Amino acid sequence: MQLTGLHVYPVKSMYRLSPDTTPVHPWGLAGDRRWMLADPTGRFVSQRENTALGQIRPGLLPDGSLALTAPDGSRIEIPAPALATGAPLAEVEVWGTRFRAVEAAKDAHEWIAEHLGDYRLVHLDDPRARPVDPEFGEPGDTVSMADGFPLLLTTTASLDRLNELISAEHPEDHETLPMERFRPNVVVTGSEPWAEDGWRRIRIGGLTFKVVKPCGRCVITTTDQETGERRGKEPLRTLARHHRLLRKAAFGQNLIPERPAGVEGDELGVLRLGDGVEVLEAGAHWPADGR
């Protein structure tokens, strides 16, 4: 098996970057979801509520600044705010977990308001501030502002199988779904369909990862990531019928990186397209129904 896709989402629910190589930190790929938008109550904002988020193109600049470009060509560069330099703190929330992030400067909020709505742009200055779900992680496991876990893995074989199922059952309105609909961090080629559901621990290149939980899917998977258009009932309709894990329509598995022996500091190692993928432990059993 081989690593054939790497994706980083600098701002939660905005467009992706797809590098050939990227460092891995304990809380995720370097730069992944360290920024997000929050509504006036502090709750995160995503494409679930506003599909226009996915049309904003982010970039990460060498000095740590965030660049955002809107569909109309409007662009802004936003320095990464830090508590140490006096930036204001905001209490924010992702799926019931409240933690503190640092607010961007006023001009960033004005740009966001013009293009997206009444939201605040915040930066996770301390990536150790938010623990993963303790039911699936260990003390000390943390995550950026992703939905729940440091990395999401998908496989091309499972996507091919899903597209076959949709085409067989609903040929009248079938369009081949691209992997981008599922917003993974790492994409693996060369497995059997749904094989990832049985993985417990894997190696990608020189790094190892715990496979901790299936990813329950939401309405974002029905959204064209290039246009922002909601495209109907797929893939949720077919996943709900054929691939339910932990009582949810599921696609992909969440990963937590392991610290290699002798490695200290934030960078655990580097992933590269073409890295080999090996299953080290298998046999995970997720209660399934409708499969």
Is the CB of residue 1 less than 8 Å from the CB of residue 190? yes
d(CA 102, CA 96): 19
- Same domain (yes/no): 276, 167: yes
Same domain for 157 and 48? Answer: no
Instruction: Single out the residue in 85, 106, 123 at which a domain terminates.
Output: 123
Q: How many beta carbons lie within 10 A of that of residue 121, not counting itself?
A: 24
Residues 184 and 278 in one domain: yes
Residues 44, 50, 51, 57, Cα dihedral to 10°: -60
Is residue 165 located within the same domain as residue 115?
Answer: no
| Judgement on whether residues 113 and 155 belong to the same structural domain of the protein | no
**Residue 290, pLDDT score:** 42
- Is the peptide bond prior to 235 cis by the omega test (within 30 degrees of 0)? yes
Burial of residue 132, with CB atoms counted within 10 A of its CB: 0-12 exposed, 13-18 middle, 19 or more buried: buried
Same domain, 169 and 93: no
Q: Give the model's pLDDT for residue 253.
A: 98
Q: Among 30, 40, 27, 26, which residue's Cα sits nearest to residue 6?
A: 30
Residue 18 lies in a domain: no
7 belongs to a structural domain: no
What domain range is 106 assigned to? Answer: 34-123
The pLDDT assigned to 174 comes to: 73
C-alpha 194 chain-centroid distance:
19
Is residue 279, in this structure, part of any structural domain at all?
yes
Same domain, residue pair 178 and 229: yes
Looking at residue 175, its pLDDT comes to 85
Q: How far apart are CA 24 and CA 259, in angstroms?
A: 10
Is 141 part of a structural domain of the chain? no
In a domain, 51, yes or no: yes
Do residues 169 and 277 both lie within one domain?
yes
Looking at the structure, do residues 159 and 117 belong to the same domain, yes or no?
Answer: no
User: At which of 123, 142, 170 does a domain end?
Assistant: 123
Going by C-alpha positions, the residue among 208, 151, 146 that lies closest to residue 29 is 151
For the sheet containing 120-123, what is the strand order? 35-38, 120-123, 97-103, 89-94
Picking from 123, 143, 163, the residue at the C-terminal end of a domain is 123
For the chain, residues with pLDDT lower than 50 are 290-291
* Domain co-membership, 158 together with 258: yes
The Cα diameter of the chain in Å comes to: 58
Looking at residue 122, what is its pLDDT?
Answer: 97
Residue 146 belongs to some domain of the structure = no
The total number of structural domains in the chain stands at 2
Q: Which of 149, 151, 134, 262 is nearest to 204 (CA)?
A: 151
| Integer Cα distance of 75 and 63 in angstroms | 17
86 shares its domain with 176: no
Retrieve residue 225's tokens: 């990531």
Whether 27 maps to a domain, the answer reads no
Judge whether 140 lies within some domain: no
